[in-house]
Amino acid sequence: MTSDFPVLVDACVLVQAAVRDTLLRLFERRLFLARWTDEILEETVRTLQNKLGLTQEQSAHLVDELRTYFPDAWVEPGYRELIPVMKNDEKDRHVLAAAVKASCEVIITYNLKHFPDDALKPHGIMAKHPDEFLVDLYYVNGEMVIHELHQQGASLAKPRSIDEVLTSLEICQSRQFVKLIREKLQ
C-alpha cells in the first residue's frame, strides 16, 4: 500500500534521530510523503550543532543524505509569500506556509502550541505529535511498520533489537506508539 498523503515535518522532529529514522523509513515505503524546506533543515542543523553537539560535518552529512535519498521532499519556492497571512506562532509561520504550499493536511511537530487549531483550520491542516502520527501509520499498515522497526535496528553499525529501537523511540516521547507496538509483538 502506498500513499500520496503529503505531511510537513517540522525541524524539532528531524532533530530526534530515532523518530527521524523511523519516519524516513516509512516515507521510503510511501506510507506518507514527507515535506520540508531549506529553512526547516537550516533550523534542524542549528539545533543539532548548537544543542546536541554534532559537528558541521555530521550535520552536513545528514542534509546531503536527505537531498540524495529524498529529493522530492522539498517544498517548491513560493511558500514564503504566504508567511505574512499565517496566524500561528510567528517563529513557525514559515512551517505553516510551507504546509499550505505543499497541500499538506498534517504538520508533524512537538511544538503543538505553535500551531493552534484556529490558525490551521482555515487551511484544512492539523498538527500532530510524532507519537500520534506514528500510531496513525501503524493503523495504515502495521505489518510494514513493524518490519521497518526491525530493519531500523538491524541496519545500525552496532545492530539493535526491536526492543532497543522502541526504547529509543520512547525516550523521544513516542510512548503510545511504543506501547502499541509492544502489545502487538506479545
**125: nearest Cα among 157, 93, 77, 155:** 93
pLDDT of 149 reads 97
Residue 21 has pLDDT above 60, yes or no: yes
| Radius of gyration for the alpha carbons in the chain, expressed in angstroms and rounded | 16
Please give the model's pTM, rounded to 2 decimal places. Answer: 0.95
For range 134-148, the mean pLDDT: 97
pLDDT of 109 reads 98
Q: How far apart are CA 17 and CA 21, in angstroms?
A: 6
Residue 3 has pLDDT above 80, yes or no: no
Residue 103 has pLDDT above 60, yes or no: yes
Domain boundaries, the chain: 6-129, 134-185
Give the whole-number percent of the chain exceeding pLDDT 90.
Answer: 95
CA distances from 181 to 63, 91, 176 (A): 30, 34, 9
For residue 157, report the phi and psi dihedrals to the nearest 5 degrees.
-55, -45
CATH top-level class for 6-129?
alpha beta
Residue 1 has pLDDT above 70, yes or no: no
pLDDT of 2 reads 59
Q: Can you give the three-state secondary structure of 94-123, one letter per residue?
A: HHHHHHHHCCCCEEECCCHHHCCHHHHHHH
CA within 13 Å, CB half, 34: 30
Spell out the alpha helix ranges (H) of the chain.
11-15, 17-28, 38-50, 56-69, 93-101, 117-120, 130-140, 142-154, 162-171, 175-185
Split at pLDDT 50, 70, 90, the class of 4 is: confident
